[in-house]
Structure 1
Amino acid sequence: MKKIWFYVLLCIVSFLTAAASASGYADGRVMDFQTQRPLEGAIVTGNNEVIRTDANGMFMLKNATGKIGIRAYGHARGEVVLPAAPVKEPVNVYLRSFTPKALYLTHYGIGSRLLRESALNLAKETEINSLVIDVKGDRGVITYKSTIPLASEIGAQRLVIIKDIRGLIQSLKEKGIYTVARIVVFKDDLLGTARPDLAVRTQDGRVFRDRENLIWVDPSRRAVWDYNISIAVEAAQNGFDEIQFDYVRFPDKKGLRFGVPSTEENRVKYITGFLSEAYRRLTPYNVFVAADIFGYVSWNLDDTQIGQKIQNIAPCVDYLSLMLYPSGFQFGIPGYRNPVAHPYEIVSLSLKRARERAGIPAVRFRPWLQAFRDYAFDRRYFYGPEIRSQIKAAEEFGSNGWMLWNPRNVYKDDGLSREPLPRKYARLDGPKA
């Protein structure tokens, strides 16, 4: 037995030695630009290979050619173009820390010159430095010209508002804007209408429609996964910095029929399965991946009947985007039964509970915050003080920024810091280590 283990060990050593001496390998170190300290756990990709840096920020890719991508939590992503000849010198990579502070724009918002320019003016004048943009919205529409055949077949291309998506993203980058592609996954009226075989059903076999009269598609169906992941890959190819999956859950209604029994085990399995597969297929594009999560998932011990368990989702994405709108906490939280009167506490305590449950650092969270009028309690408006108190809670917690949600795409500077943030957020050169 000892001889066998010695032989196996010898093979491993020989393999590693051969890999290190191969003509295509590249090694280097990833460091924080401001502190010059190594970044442990930075994600390095090249030729579909993905590794993480060690405690000294070091990495080695076995078959690196062309370029390598690098990203790290709490930092901007970047890439290094490798020379055609074999790389002999270690590559030093410096990433700037970056904290997204975002506004959400629907496809109408980004397509409207008035609404788009209003958001960009806030980015010039305040701390806003990011936009979350609908790529596939709540009704399943893809608002730019897509190359995905199924998108045209099901009518998702009926309303092409953005004529040049790559040009738009490039222009936003030139303004220093971090771009997030929002993709609504399992609520898809167009796909469910065109492909009823993929739709969620009621117990009597009818196609299920939610309170908005919209169809959902079955999270257990691989065809649904493939369609949405294709959209995500296309968004990455078009230059988005981050892919954010929304409605990545089962419908919050009991008694529905799916391709598998609706047990907690199955629900969690298929939601995390989708996110894991999406993450794997997005790896070559060096984009961050995020998932929007119900606020109550921070507190509930089960999957909230929708397949979301924060400790299961955390390994499948880079960022957890909890939807911490006080209006969405219909039952309040312990000690705070009127959540709209306590926006700071809702955000702060929910984030702390989520971190305890997930066992990950605060920088892996970026919450959604409420910038719209309450609809569930006393109909109060959320003005500057309410918005600022939520921001304060997120920043004190240490999250990697925050995102403001207003479905009307109307935002004001009330509650925002008037000091614009630096626009150049990434650098891939610097003093030698």
Structure 2
Amino acid sequence: MRLNWKKLFRNTSDNTSVSASSTSSASADSSRGRAARRPLVILLAGVLAMVLVVGGVLLVRQHSGVDFQLAGASAGGVVNADVGKHGVEVTAPDGESLHGAEVTVDGKRMPVRSTGRHLTVGLNGLHDGTHELKVASEGSMFGGSELTRRLTVDTTPPKLTVADTEGRSLRGPVTVKGRAQDAAEVTVAGRKAHVAKDGTFAVTLPRPPAEATAVATDEAGNTARADAVITVRRPELRAVHVSGQAWASDQLRKPVLKLLKEHKLNAVQLDIKDELGEIGYDSEVPLAKKIGAAKGYYDTKKAIKEIHAAGGSVVGRIVAFRDPILASASWKDGHRDRVVQTPDGGPYGGGSKYGSLSFTNFADKEVRQYHLDLATEAAKLGFDDILYDYIRRPDGKISTMSFPGLGKTSPEDSIAHLVAQTRTVAREHGAFLGVSVFGVAVTRPKEIAQDIGKLAEQTDYIAPMVYPSHWAAGEYGVSDPNSHPYPITKKSLADFVKKTRHTDAQIVPWLQDFSLGVSYGDAEVAAQIRAAADDGIHSFLLWNPAVRYHGGALKPME
């Protein structure tokens, strides 16, 4: 309602004016004048009442604070843990200021941060339940402004538990189950789960991921997280080593296929990249093509199909950091950080054992990516396992070596991290990951940067090379390990079992099927297999660089 003050006062003057010519009759008309002014008094009283009423409306409107805006709480005034930590924000209308405003919760003054029209109220420390928030400004010509809101503080996240899950295959679906009390929504690895009234939930993932995080969210927006432990154990593995060139030879390939068909083996370890740095098939990895590493000795798809048809799986071995092809090409092209160096910047040779430019630098990003790319390609091609070898620093005094890019990270941690990265990409494409390690690494992790405890947390299985011929006299109390394959194998593997007990990693040992100083035949190979079994290990990989194996040491699998 708008009041025309000029018109109001003009009308009032006209009604009360007295002319000079009528003064003589003033007395006579006095009673009549009083009667005429009575409506005017009533009118003025009404106008003043209207003004007061209008003013009252303005004051009430100003006092109610309806123009205030409250941000941070939900539409229902619910404050969750995150909001409670960062506070709620009160915003005044344009032209108004909240500077100096008094804020109380349940009558108690609260700390605030004010920036003109905006005021942030900290609610940290409020107990769960209903509270009354009041914001009172200093006032204006019509009086102070006040905002009153009831807030419900709910900072309690849902109670989330996820059941351990064991999948049957890396290439098939897996269902993750759990319970989330008071949760409105649950996701696992980004997929929404069905939540029943009692809080139980289930979600089916197309493949078992290396890691899957469950997130439960309640109506207030509080969240709880839990890692879903999904274990897919590598089935019993009994394999023999076959190089890329050996697979191309009928004379060497056919006996291996025969052992598969007789059920004495259930897998073939086929080289992807060997100790020379050669890739056995025609790899499409750009760096492999650039440096001439891809040799194309065998057709990958054909080889995998043939092994699968014979009843076996295919374990693809990648010799990692012993790589003369990559080391030489990198040094020549000026990419010298890819190579393990001496402290003075020269290429590390490791004495006469390996020769100069034999080892690439595990800490270099390009070298690491090369192996991640090879592992990804192999898993996509259909290799059932990726098995690292030479995933270590050169043996020798670490003071004689330099690893550009390593920084403050330990060699052991750097290598374990690469294994974790590889497992993620291998698992994504349905392949298991194994890591070949020195037998001495279980008790001497810094000798070649292979920390068995750390590696076991990042891989599906550890493959210790416990060849009796490689142990020194007196190791594990065995005077001549090469001549006593059973005790040295059993005692050394017992340490690996103990070291990996806290993890889900299995032990798949490399066993000796070659002669070095002592002649090895069926009996010696069988003794090692029996020693592993007595430690509870029924998987194994046989090594013979000549790719000729003693089938008489192997019993058909049940």
Query: Structure 2 matches for 1:191-270, cutoff 5 A?
Result: 191-196=326-331, 197=336, 198-210=338-350, 211-213=353-355, 215-254=358-397, 255-259=400-404, 266-270=410-414
Identity of aligned residues (%): 28
2:57 matched to which residue of 1? none
Tell me if structure 2 keeps the 8 A contact 1:294–1:322: yes
Partner amino acid for 1:299?
Answer: T
Aligned counterparts of 2:500 and 2:210: Cα–Cα separation in 1 = 27
1:349 lines up with 2:491 in the alignment:
yes
Helix, strand or coil at the partner of 1:171: helix
Alpha-carbon spacing, 1:327–1:238, altered in 2? closer, same or farther (3 Å) = same
Alpha-carbon spacing, 1:359–1:48, altered in 2? closer, same or farther (3 Å) = closer
Tell me if structure 2 keeps the 8 A contact 1:133–1:180: yes
Q: 1:205 offset after TM fit, Å? A: 2.3
Say what the alpha-carbon RMSD is for the aligned residues. 2.8
1:111 matched to which residue of 2? 248
Q: 1:137 offset after TM fit, Å? A: 0.5
1:160 lines up with 2:293 in the alignment:
no
Among candidates 449, 453, 457, match of residue 311 of structure 1:
453
Q: 1:174 offset after TM fit, Å? A: 1.4
Tell me if structure 1 keeps the 8 A contact 2:363–2:414: yes
2:312 matched to which residue of 1? 177
Which range moves more in the overlay, 325-334 or 214-223?
325-334
Q: 1:240 offset after TM fit, Å? A: 1.0
Alpha-carbon spacing, 1:261–1:9, altered in 2? closer, same or farther (3 Å) = closer
Aligned counterparts of 1:237 and 1:284: Cα–Cα separation in 2 = 9
Helix, strand or coil at the partner of 1:257: coil
1:36 matched to which residue of 2? none
Aligned counterparts of 1:262 and 1:305: Cα–Cα separation in 2 = 19
> Moved runs in structure 1, 4+ residues, more than 6 A?
none
Partner amino acid for 1:138?
Answer: E
Q: Provide TM-score, normalisation by structure 2.
A: 0.59
Helix, strand or coil at the partner of 1:6: coil
Listed as ranges, the gaps of 5+ residues in structure 2 are 1-124, 129-152, 160-179, 196-200, 215-229
Tell me if structure 2 keeps the 8 A contact 1:202–1:256: yes
Alpha-carbon spacing, 1:278–1:74, altered in 2? closer, same or farther (3 Å) = closer
Among candidates 137, 150, 164, match of residue 274 of structure 2:
137
Tell me if structure 2 keeps the 8 A contact 1:50–1:283: no
* Max Rg structure: 2
Alpha-carbon spacing, 1:323–1:45, altered in 2? closer, same or farther (3 Å) = farther
1:295 lines up with 2:439 in the alignment:
yes
Aligned counterparts of 1:362 and 1:352: Cα–Cα separation in 2 = 16
Count the aligned residue pairs: 355
Helix, strand or coil at the partner of 1:202: coil
Alpha-carbon spacing, 1:144–1:110, altered in 2? closer, same or farther (3 Å) = same
Aligned counterparts of 1:362 and 1:229: Cα–Cα separation in 2 = 23
Which range moves more in the overlay, 100-109 or 13-22?
13-22
Alpha-carbon spacing, 1:283–1:124, altered in 2? closer, same or farther (3 Å) = closer
Aligned counterparts of 2:311 and 2:393: Cα–Cα separation in 1 = 36
Q: 1:334 offset after TM fit, Å? A: 2.6
Q: Provide TM-score, normalisation by structure 1.
A: 0.75
1:396 lines up with 2:525 in the alignment:
no
Listed as ranges, the gaps of 5+ residues in structure 1 are 29-43, 54-69, 76-98, 423-433
Tell me if structure 1 keeps the 8 A contact 2:194–2:202: no
Alpha-carbon spacing, 1:297–1:49, altered in 2? closer, same or farther (3 Å) = closer
Aligned counterparts of 1:49 and 1:19: Cα–Cα separation in 2 = 18
1:414 lines up with 2:556 in the alignment:
no
Q: 1:249 offset after TM fit, Å? A: 0.4
Structure with greater strand percent? 2
Aligned counterparts of 1:331 and 1:234: Cα–Cα separation in 2 = 42
